[in-house]
Amino acid sequence: MICCFGMNKSKSLKRHKPSIPELMLMALKKAADIPFEMLLEYGKIRNQQSRPAVIRTALHRLKNKKLIYCETQGKKLIYALTDDGEREANNIRSKMEKTKPKKWDGKWRVIVFDIPEKLRGKRDLLRRELVGFGFMQLQRSVWVYPHPLPEEFKDLWEKAGILKHCIVFESDKVENGKDLKRLFAGMIQ
């Protein structure tokens, strides 16, 4: 039986549901220069619990983070993404794509790493990226994923100087593979 470190083994990955600020960034990514009223309607369509105050608060926080900017055109407030907002919207889209169920090729990708304590910050970055990407932790430094890794993921590790501390391999034979399949039930078809 496979037990995931620090996890309830019956828990499987769920599709990422975007927050209100994420929805606002995604709306602005789809169409530039959107008036507040349209953002409000978009929020209502995508998330039934969006009230005007919630949308205003989300937009205010995004503006404070310099992810969006606002201009007045006549009597309307028009919102658009900054360059940082564009990057964040791309990250959100990528996160949503990662959690969509995909056709599984029957292979498991396993990452084993031993990153020195002096690189703790980079090790923590790697763990956050693995969680965000949808990996499951089997042991403290052993992670598994059912789909091929994009090159930009490996490039990030290379730039951070931690790829040399990682071993990445694929396997189509795993004892007790049913337990892994159950963990990734929401991500594989």
pLDDT tens column, 32-66: 778 888 887 777 766 656 678 888 888 999 999 99
pTM: 0.53
**What domains lie within the chain, and their CATH numbers?**
20-98 (1.10.10.10), 108-183 (3.30.70)
pLDDT, tens digit, 9 for 90 and up, residues 124-151: 888 887 887 778 888 888 999 888 887 7
Burial 66-96 (b: 16+ CB within 10 A, else e): ebbeeeeeeeebbbebbeebbebbeebeeee
Least Cα distance to 84 among 23, 29, 157, 160 occurs for 29
Q: Is 14 exposed, middle or buried (0-12, 13-18, 19+ CB in 10 A)?
A: exposed
Q: What is the DSSP letter of 102?
A: B
